[in-house]
Amino acid sequence: MTIQTPNGFTLDNSGKRVVVDPVTRIEGHLRVEVNLDGDNVIRNAVSTGTMWRGIEVILKGRDPRDAWAFTERICGVCTGTHALTSVRAVEDALAIKIPENANSIRNLMQLTLQAHDHLVHFYHLHALDWVDVVSALKADPKATSALAQSISPWPLSSPGYFKDIQGRLTRFVESGQLGPFKNGYWGNPAYKLPPEANLMAVAHYLEALDFQKEIVKIHTIYGGKNPHPNWLVGGVPCAINVDGVGAVGAVNMERLNYVSSIIDQTNDFINQVYIPDLMAIASFYKDWLYGGGLSSKCVMSYGDIPEHANDYSEKSLKLPRGAIINGNLSEVLPIDLRNPDEIQEFVVHSWYKYPDETKGLHPWDGVTEPNFVLGPNTKGTRTNIEQLDEAAKYSFIKAPRWKGNAMEVGPLARWVIGYAQGKPEFKEPVQKVLTDLGLPVTALFSTLGRTAARGLEAQWAGAQMRYFQDKLMANIKAGDSSTANVDKWRPETWPRETKGVGFTEAPRGALGHWIRIKDGKIDNYQAVVPTTWNGSPRDPKGNIGAFEASLMNTPMAVPDQPLEIIRTLHSFDPCLACSTHVMSPDGQEMAKVEVR
C-alpha cells in the first residue's frame, strides 16, 4: 500500500520487510522495520522504542529541589543536561534568580558535556559506521603516517606509532576478541575508506578513549564529583575561594588554572584530531548523501548557553533558538514552550491512553497511562512481535509536535537554524566545510551533514568553554565569588501552587522539563527529550518523525547487513534510555536482522 504523508514522504510497505532489533551501539533499545523495493531501496520505515517510562510516576510527591538528582538517573549519558534542565524548571516555577558566576559555571558544565559527548559519539559510537576496523590491518604504516601528517600537525603520527597500533589491533583481532569492534559488518561494500584512513581512525579511536577522561575532570571540579555531578536549585553547589590552598570543596586559583589547561588540551584535540579526521572521512563519502530526515523541512532548537544569567531570550542564548517549517530557511519562527498550542504530545500511534487521542497534550497537562495494544496486522505475539502494524499503536515513544509539525532536533537542526539566521559563527564554518569538500549547501541535509554539524559544534563548544572560563575568572578577580542564591530555598517562601519550564540543548537536541509544584511538592513532571522528537512514531495526521524520514529512499548494499540504517540512526546520537527504557530479555548483543 502506498501512503502520501502530509510532510512530503511516499511510504510503500509492499516490499520485503527487514527488521533490525536492537539497533546497537546506542544507549537504550531501538527497533526499526523497513520495507525494501526490488532494488533494495528503503520505501517505508517504522521506528519504535519498546519500553515505557514516565518520570512523573517517580517524581510525584517528591521535593522539587531533589528532582535533578532523579532525572540524572534516567540515563547514563545525558546525566548533567537533565539535571540542568530540571533546576532551570524549578527556578522558573519559583522565580529564582541565579548569580552570574553560577551561569558561567553551568555553561561550562554544559559545554563540557557537549564537547565530550560529541567526541565520544564520533569515535566510539559512530566512526565504526564509516571506518572498517579489519581493513586497517592491511594498511601500510608509512603511508598512514604520510596521510596523517598531510591533514594535521598532531604529533602522534610517525610510521612506528601506526605500526604499533596495527600490531595491537592484529593481536586483538587474532585472539578472536574483537571487544568493542564486535558489532561491525566488516568488509561490507558500503565502507569506502582506504586501509590507511581506517588505521588512522582506529589509532584516534584509542587516543580519544584515553583523552576523553581529561575533559570530564571539569565536571569533577565544578560539580564536586563524576559520575553524577552535583547541581543546586538557585546556583551551583561549588564554593569559590581564590585564596584557598588545598581547601576541601572550594574551588581555588589552582583549580581554576587546571580547568583552563584542560580546555586548551580539549581544543587541541578537537582541532587537530577530530575535525581533520571528520573531513578526511567525509571526503570519501561525498556521494553518500542520504539520511536527511526532516532537516531540510522542519527543524527546531530551544537554544542554550545564556550570555547573561537568568536571560533565556533568543538574544542572550548563544546556541540558536527558533523553528523552521516547510523548508523555509528565510524565516526562523519564534517558539514558546509555555503556549499550550505549540508543543503537544500525541499518542494515537503510541502505547498510551488519552481521553481523546485526536488531540495532543501540552507537557504541563501531560499524562502517561500505558496502553499496550497491537494492531490487526501485527505478526507474531504480544511477547514476540515479528512485525509491527504501524497503522495502529506501535511505540512507547510519544509523538511530540510543534504547531502540528514533526520536527528534527539536534546539532544539525541547531546549525541549520544558526545558518538561516545568518549568524557568522555558524554560517562561516558550515560554508568552509562545504567549500573544502566541494559540496553544495543542500549536502548539509544528510547523515553526513548531521555528523559534520556535531563536529563543528564540538569545535564551537571548545571555543565557548574558553570564553566562559575567562569570563568566570575575570568576574572572580573583580571580587564576585557568589555562586548561589538561597533566598527561596525554604518551601515556606514558595507559592502554594506554581508551574515552570526548563530547557537546554542536550548534545542530541532540544530538551524540556515541565513541572507543576503544589504545597511544596511535585504535582506533575514531564520530560520531552530529544529522542522523543526524533524517534517519534506517526501522529494523527500521518506525519512521520525524523528517524523514519531519515531512512527513506536509502539504498542498502546488503539487505541483511543493516549498515546504512545503523549509520543514519547513529548520526542522531539516539538515547533511548531517556525516551524509553531498555529491557533486553535475551541479552543479545549483535543486532538481529530478519528479512521477511
Partner 1 sequence: MTIREADRPPAPSGSAARTLVLGIGNILWADEGFGVRAVEAFDRRFAAPVGVTVLDGGTQGLYLVQHVTETDALLVFDAIDYGLEPGTLKLIEGDEVPKFTGAKKMSLHQTGFQEVLSAADLLGKYPARIALIGCQPLDLENWGGPLTDPVRAQIEPSLALAREVLRNWGVELVERAAGEVRPGLLGDGLDIQGYERVAPDSAAGKGGT
Rg (CA), the chain: 24
In the complex with partner 1, the residue whose CB is nearer, 212 or 524, is 212
Does residue 359 interact with partner 1 by CB under 8 A? no
Does residue 27 interact with partner 1 by CB under 8 A? yes
Instruction: Give the number of other Cβ atoms within 10 Å of residue 291's Cβ.
Output: 26
Does residue 438 interact with partner 1 by CB under 8 A? no
Choices 176-184, 315-323, 434-442, 468-476 (CB under 8 A): range interacting with partner 1: 176-184
Q: What's the 3-state SS for 294-312?
A: CCCCCEEECCEEECCCCCC
Interacting residue with partner 1 among 16, 73, 432, 477 (CB under 8 A):
73
In eight-state DSSP terms, residue 194 is -
Q: Residue 173: which region, alpha, beta or left (left: phi > 0; alpha: psi -120 to 50)?
A: alpha
In the complex with partner 1, the residue whose CB is nearer, 3 or 209, is 209
In the complex with partner 1, the residue whose CB is nearer, 393 or 401, is 393
Rounded (5°) CA angle 265-270-271: 100
Q: Residue 581: which region, alpha, beta or left (left: phi > 0; alpha: psi -120 to 50)?
A: beta
Choices 67-75, 153-161, 270-278, 567-575 (CB under 8 A): range interacting with partner 1: 67-75
In eight-state DSSP terms, residue 526 is E
Interacting residue with partner 1 among 12, 63, 307, 365 (CB under 8 A):
63
| Residues whose CB is less than 8 angstroms from the CB of residue 489 and which lie 6 or more positions away in sequence, other chains included | 65, 233, 234
Interacting residue with partner 1 among 39, 174, 210, 243 (CB under 8 A):
210
Interacting residue with partner 1 among 3, 41, 51, 391 (CB under 8 A):
51
Looking at residues 88 to 127 of the shown chain, list those that interact with partner 1 (rule: CB under 8 A).
120, 124
In the complex with partner 1, the residue whose CB is nearer, 163 or 403, is 163
Give the rounded distance of the alpha carbon of 279 from its chain centre: 21
Site track for partner 1 across 294-333, x = CB under 8 A: ----------------------------------------
CA pair distance 507, 245, nearest whole angstrom:
35
Interacting residue with partner 1 among 153, 227, 327, 520 (CB under 8 A):
227
Does residue 224 interact with partner 1 by CB under 8 A? no
Instruction: Give the number of other Cβ atoms within 10 Å of residue 432's Cβ.
Output: 12
Rounded (5°) CA angle 488-490-492: 100
Choices 40-48, 207-215, 241-249, 537-545 (CB under 8 A): range interacting with partner 1: 207-215
Choices 364-372, 444-452, 457-465, 505-513 (CB under 8 A): range interacting with partner 1: 364-372
Does residue 75 interact with partner 1 by CB under 8 A? yes
Does residue 206 interact with partner 1 by CB under 8 A? yes
Interacting residue with partner 1 among 16, 213, 359, 477 (CB under 8 A):
213
In the complex with partner 1, the residue whose CB is nearer, 18 or 233, is 233
Least gap, CB of 215 to partner 1 (angstroms): 10
In eight-state DSSP terms, residue 72 is T
| Residues whose CB is less than 8 angstroms from the CB of residue 364 and which lie 6 or more positions away in sequence, other chains included | 338, 340, 499, 501, 514, 516, 524, 526
In the complex with partner 1, the residue whose CB is nearer, 165 or 412, is 165
Q: Do residues 461 and 111 make contact, with C-beta atoms less than 8 angstroms apart?
A: yes
CA pair distance 458, 113, nearest whole angstrom:
10
Name the H helices within 95-194: 100-120, 141-151, 159-174
Choices 175-183, 249-257, 401-409, 411-419 (CB under 8 A): range interacting with partner 1: 175-183
Site track for partner 1 across 383-422, x = CB under 8 A: x------------x--------------------------
Does residue 357 interact with partner 1 by CB under 8 A? no
Q: Do residues 400 and 536 make contact, with C-beta atoms less than 8 angstroms apart?
A: yes
Q: Is 311 exposed, middle or buried (0-12, 13-18, 19+ CB in 10 A)?
A: exposed
In the complex with partner 1, the residue whose CB is nearer, 75 or 439, is 75
In the complex with partner 1, the residue whose CB is nearer, 72 or 277, is 72
Least gap, CB of 281 to partner 1 (angstroms): 21
What are the b/e assignments for 223-246, b being 16+ CB within 10 Å? bbebebbbbbbbbbbbebebebee
Give the rounded distance of the alpha carbon of 146 from its chain centre: 34
Q: Is 115 helix (H, G, I), strand (E, B) or coil?
A: helix
Q: Which residues bind partner 1 (CB under 8 A)?
A: 24, 27, 51-54, 57-58, 60-63, 65-66, 68-70, 73-77, 79, 120, 124, 168, 172, 177-180, 182, 206, 209-210, 212-213, 216, 227-228, 230, 351, 370-372, 382-383, 396, 577, 581, 583, 587, 589-590
